[in-house]
Amino acid sequence: MKVIHIFPFFSISRGGGTTWLITEIAKAQATFTNVIPLIHSGSFEFDPELKNEILRFGVEVKTSKSYFNKFNIFFMPGLLFSSYKYLRQVDVIHFHLFRSYQNIIFYFAARKLNKPYIIDAHGSLPRHFKKKKFKKKIFDVLIGNKILKNAKFFIAENELSLSECVEFGVPKEKVKIIRPPFPVKDFKNIVVLNLLENKYNISKSKKKILFVGRLHKIKGVDLIINGFYELSKRQKDIHLIIMGPDEGELSYLKNLVFKYNLAEKVTFTGFIGGKDKLSIIKECDICIQSSLYEQGAGVPFESVLCGTPILVSDNSGAAMDVRRINAGLLFNHGNSIDLALKIEYIFENYSHIKNQTKIAAEKINEELSFENATKNYTFVYNDCIN
């Protein structure tokens, strides 16, 4: 069975967790299942090294030249001709985004060739921000509702995602819950490189608090800085590490740090991936997530697998995932005082929290390994064909 994964970006620094997940799913499908995966993306910030890495697993990556990238349009005119060529080779189409120019072209080609497709929206279905809400509504009226109607199935990452699909108008029987898998083997023998001390001059004696993710408004990094400021009034031996690429918030966040006079206690590293990323997570004492919206506990579960306790805001799908396996603590979203108090509680009960983290890591290893979880996608593909 041949499947094509479709997403505008093939770069983890640009596409974030979704690009990472697509590449890992494709690797696992090529290794553990009878699925032959193919990936299609745009050319914007394309990562050739990632392409070479996935090619070693026999996974091809096809690219279309994209234009108007600065306006976040990612227009791919070449797809008007090449989409039919790609889809003739495959049995099922796996969209990893709901709204994009790329999806429109592939949708019409899929309808013309009578190819089944599924939508794995990764949190892109709801209309979150006022600035984009109107654009999304226009897209949905013009074409989105048709794409939704003709999809064979929707993939939901957890119960929150399922309820979002149903509220959006997807029939419940079309929604399949597949919890995102993890490359658990990558976390078995993490080499600690002492990067925080050697590269960023952060003393080992400091209690290190970490955020990992895009510096985007939806990630709520300013809320973490607010909580860290409250904590700094009572604790002096602390340091905040903010690790991730800028998506419009870096200047604002640096100004906030300056306002609180925290420049010596906060480090911005930019994007870091691979072994360096895992080492930094392991070198830290706590990993915090405080998103305005988060579909699942991707980064928090990575932290758990690194053995680092997590603290997650109670307002999102990530909190649901954390509760489900008792993976860490939750705090009241937007409440900087509660965030500071929960950090203090973790430090005061660190041995107990570390043990809880270890037990949660064992559950993730059992339930969410790519070897086991990837088969769930195959079941859905078979249902599409049948």
Distance of CA 283 to the CA centre of its chain: 22
Q: What is the pLDDT of residues 305-354, one digit of tens each?
A: 999 999 999 998 899 899 999 999 999 999 999 999 999 999 999 999 99
Binning pLDDT at 50, 70 and 90, where does residue 130 land? low
Q: Where in the chain is the domain with CATH 3.40.50.2000?
A: 2-181+369-385, 185-367
DSSP notation for 302-371: HHHHTT--EEEETTSHHHHHHHHTT-SEEE-TT-HHHHHHHHHHHHHTHHHHHHHHHHHHHHHHHH-BHH
Q: Is 75 helix (H, G, I), strand (E, B) or coil?
A: strand
Fold of 185-367: Rossmann fold (3.40.50)
pLDDT at 185: 86
Check whether domain 2-181+369-385 has CATH 3.40.50.800, yes or no: no
Q: What is the pTM of this model?
A: 0.75
